[in-house]
Amino acid sequence: MSVNTPNTPDTGAEVAPNNNTAGLNQAVIPENKLGPSGISPERHQQAVEIVSRMREEIQRAIIGQKTVVNQVLACCLAGGHILLEGVPGLGKTLLVKALAKTFAGSASRIQFTPDLMPADVMGHAIYDIKNQTFSVRKGPVFTNLLLADEINRAPAKTQSALLEVMQERQVTIENESHALDAPFMVLATQNPLENEGTYPLPEAQLDRFLIKACIDYPSAEEELAMLNMVTHKRIGDGLEVKQVNTIIKPETIIALQQLVSQIHVDDAVADYAVRIVRATRECPGISVGAGPRGSIALVRIARAFALMNKRDFVTPADIKAASLPVLRHRVALSPESELDGLSSDNILSNMIEQIAAPRA
């Protein structure tokens, strides 16, 4: 069992508010100056610039993996949690640290093992003999970004405790509730190659994750660039986040999340999202389709994608781009599909292509 307590990245100096963040918490704009989303053009432009800058700062530490970086950033903007699937050593911990440093947030890492108990994650009460009182020792879950490494190695009781916290965003210790820091995001990982000694997450618990991202090996060029960066006049084999700049504060992330929730979704686009999710329930090769939470997650991520693409409205392309990461962990394949060696991505991709998107 390995637990890293929360720590705030060392920025080297006090965080200075970026000029582009000033308008995110400003007063309500008069209605005649608002677009269809209810967001003023000035405020929208500020948000676009901040998100673009965050992505650039993360890429200072992460070589390649642009799709995963975009999905993690979108999940953060949507206020959700993400499940990362990939073999060890592809930069998951580095990604969490880099994202946390962009907004001066705290980050913790928990290595899930079969002997990990819920109290090791949440915290527990300690009896002080001297004062004859109980005091609460908070666990590593009290942080902004929590990396739950190899979550499927912990027993179901510990998994359920964490997933409940993800939903409620608070921890109950000795009948006393403690709110988690905002923003709060869990990035859970699992290794797709090892099944021995693991406790697979049930479908109902997987549904709590907004998206599931698959991390693949870097390209030859990216791996060479990584090699040169790590071995150039340095000791050790790890990448660092020293070059990542802190550009905003946690309060700005909350403001960005509120802004994303206001991104306009046309009725036809919302209907497109619902049709995609409902199609999973009747799709050949899928035994259990996605529930209504899938439709909600699809729109939430599509809104984040829209902002990242400098728009204040969602397009069918945003819905389509969000479909695989949102739905791949919410469906169960039929035994026939598994015997044929098909993956959820194969079946979902073919299904999505057959669903007509609304015209602009």
Distances in Å between the Cα of 82 and the Cα atoms of 47, 130, 144, 187, 320 are 22, 43, 14, 5, 18
Per-residue pLDDT tens listing for the chain (360 residues): 555 544 544 433 333 444 444 455 443 334 445 556 677 889 999 999 999 999 999 998 888 889 999 999 999 999 999 999 988 878 888 888 899 999 999 989 999 999 999 889 988 888 778 777 777 888 899 999 999 998 988 888 888 888 878 888 988 887 888 889 899 999 999 887 767 778 888 777 788 899 999 988 888 998 898 888 877 766 655 667 888 899 999 999 999 999 999 999 999 999 999 999 999 999 999 999 999 999 999 999 999 999 999 999 999 999 999 999 999 999 999 999 988 888 999 999 999 999 999 986
Q: How far is CA 13 from the centre of its chain?
A: 27
Residue 180 phi, psi dihedral angles, 5° rounding: -80, 160
The residues of the chain that CATH labels 1.10.8.80 are 264-360
**Which CATH code fits 264-360?**
1.10.8.80
SS3 track for 227-247: HHHHHCCCCCCCCCCCCCCCC
The CA R_g of the chain, rounded to the nearest whole Å, is 21
**Do residues 272 and 316 lie in contact, with contact meaning Cβ atoms separated by under 8 Å?**
yes
CATH 3.30.70.890 describes domain 33-262: no
Q: How far is CA 323 from the centre of its chain?
A: 15
The residues of the chain that CATH labels 3.40.50.300 are 33-262
pTM of the model: 0.85
d(CA 63, CA 77): 22
